[in-house]
Structure 1
Amino acid sequence: MSLGIMEEDELAEYFRLQYGERLLQLLQKFPNIEEQSGSSIRLLEKKKEAKIMHTAMEQKKETFRRRMETLNLRWEELGTKEAQLKAHIQKFEQFIQENDQKRIRALKKANKERELKRQRVRELAKVKQEMGALRLQHQRLSTRMQEFSVFNKYLEKVVEHSEFEEIHEVISRYKTLISMHHDLMQSAQEGQEKIERAKARLARYMEEKDDEILQHNNELARLQMRFDRARSDVIVWESRWAHIQNTAAKKTLLLGTIKMAALNLFQIVSKQLKETAAVSLEDTHKQLDMIQQFIQDLSDIWTEVRRKEQQQVRV
């Protein structure tokens, strides 16, 4: 409704501007009444035309207003129909959605039923297979019973000609003997295993002792080598000791000779000095010191004599 009113106002403003400007232009074209009094008739005619035009404009405005009202009514009807159509579309979409959900649930249910049916079929096939296997087993057992019927007859004859009264007593006796045989075999096997373990321990012990004997032999060989080296070293050192003893004897003899020579020389020096020094006969070092001092004194005297002789020769 507001849109129609706005368009009507704009249209009225348009007519006012268009026709108002034309009226002003027409009025401006008319000459002044005071100056042209003869044109009053034309002015009245023009005013009449303007009034007619104004009336026509008002009629057009009224027509336009009515048309706008009609358009507004149609616009409102269209809005109502649009709202109804939207509601109808929403209901239709909801209906479609509900149908889709129902269809999905129906599909799920159908799939579940098909899967359940397939499972039942598989179970039925498995049961049939088991039934077939049981029938085959029953046939095999029946065949074996027919085959073992000979042994049953044989056991009946055994019972007739033995101390047993029933077949199950014979079977119990047989089971007892089998159990005893099994126990004896187990005991024999355990004894054999003990013997094998003892043999293994003995083998390990012998191997360990062989290793120890080998180690002792190696140690004995090493000690024998050390003993042989020691014996050879003893021979070498004995020869060296004999050489040292011989050398020591020679050195001792030479030392005795040197001491005797030093003593003789000391006695000669003492005679030359004409004095008796308190020196032991065994103190060779002091004797040599006195001999050295005597020789030094003689050297000094000889040097002094030579110097004086040279002075006399010069004079």
Structure 2
Amino acid sequence: MNILFVADPLASFKIYKDTTFAMMRELQRRGHTLAATEPQHMAWQSGQPVSAKVRHISLTGDAEAWFRVSREAIEPLHGFNAVIMRKDPPFDSEFFYATHLLEQAEREGARVFNSPRALRDHPEKLALMEFARFAPPTLVTRQAEAIRAFHAEHRDIILKPLDGMGGMGIFRVGPDGMNLGSIIETLNQGGATSVMVQRYLPQIVDGDKRLLLIGGKVAPFVLARIPQGNEVRGNLAAGGKGVAQPLSDADRAVAEAIAPTLAARGLLLVGLDMIGNSVTEINVTSPTCFQEITEQTGFDVPAMFVDALEHALT
């Protein structure tokens, strides 16, 4: 099969940990061919199919010059067997427009993973509210007074922007309410921006766990991202330490309750974040942690993903 990746610039990849690279490597190992483009290289002209300037590549095995370009061309997206959308957040206006172009490509016959409509319908912070029975007490609001009332009720809270990634903009406010007003002003910008507020979960000391849902099934290992020092954030980008561990029975029960619903909506790959037994985020844009789990446990996550992709295309 010929597989097109819509992703960030290839030159920006950190291949020692990049999940998109791990997908590419497994696809090439199985004999599939690879191509890559970026959202800004997609175009839709009236009367013509959605197309993109693509580079057909092969992986070299070299740590530096890790890919080789065989040719470049402008090609319709529906000409590929699959299009894998792996553009990293933020989910800004341009990401939103890219999903519309990808959805048009679907109407023309392209197979896109994750589904562009599902990407739009599942903003990564808000998506968990559909599964509130598995989440900690959570509030999404622009209203400063609502946030203050939530803090008064729960005493120890986490605040974060809806469009954040990698732990950016996450604050903890304890029972003393120190700096709550300043944090609200910073995050909600005078009522112009929505904020997510959640009860603080002390189990974060054991890690913010990333579970992978692939083709409606749950990977048997998770990556616990453990905060270091005085940090409240476990995100790897914020300095958290990633420790792979077996999936617990309790976490499996939650994940298996959620996975079929998301898979049925065209979400081939989902990163479910859990602290303790509570779901804190549902990541669908470009979930990561393939390489960390594989290297620490020997379980081949990229192979599980490609198995699911091949099955979806049959």
TM range (shorter): under 0.3
More strand by share: 2
Larger radius of gyration: 1
Which structure is higher in helix share? 1
TM-score (norm 1): 0.12
TM-score relative to the length of structure 2: 0.12
